[in-house]
Amino acid sequence: MRLIIDGYNLLSEISGGMPTDLEAGRDYLIESLSVYKRVRRVKIIAVFDATRTGRLTGSAGMKTGVDVVFTKAGQEADEVIRDFCRRLGEGATIVTSDAALAAVCKNSGAVVVSSGEFRGLLDAALYEDMKGAAPEDEEDFPHEKKGQAKRPSKAERKKLQRLKKL
């Protein structure tokens, strides 16, 4: 399973808007994703638009264990993410809050997680790395289930199953 991140989309979610220093924001995001990769043991590809970097050619490389892809000038990150979706299909988990991109990726068989949902997972992994324990390990009492819940749709069950793996 590969986790494909819409870089600026997630950065905007984490920062509460686009940061003024994009390079520092990208570095913080990539560092956070490397911690997530180490804690959860998943392969991560972060895709960023080159239009915001001033680069003319596309580039790819690994930074602290995270594959980082910058698009070519005039190409959007959404195009690159769509290509990953088509190639990887059900093996891809996409992190984006872009509705159009999410629809295309779902049609390719990929699981789509919103940036807001992933932010919670990322915060939990950062906490786990910092404290050495998962937040749920620190609870003093077990939760009781009360009655049967409505069974989610097949697509929702697939998404929940993928989220458990993240």
Residue 141 inside a domain? The answer is no
Predicted confidence band at 160 (pLDDT cuts at 50, 70, 90)? confident
Residue 144 inside a domain? The answer is no
Residue 63 inside a domain? The answer is yes
Bridge-based pairing of strands 66-70 and 111-113 is unpaired
Q: What is the percent of the chain where pLDDT is above 90?
A: 46
* Structural domain harbouring 39: 2-134+149-165
Number of domains in the chain: 1
Q: Could you give the CA distance from residue 109 to residue 99 in angstroms, rounded to a whole number? A: 15
Region of poorest pLDDT, from 41-45, 51-55, 121-125, 126-130? 51-55
Q: pTM of the prediction?
A: 0.76
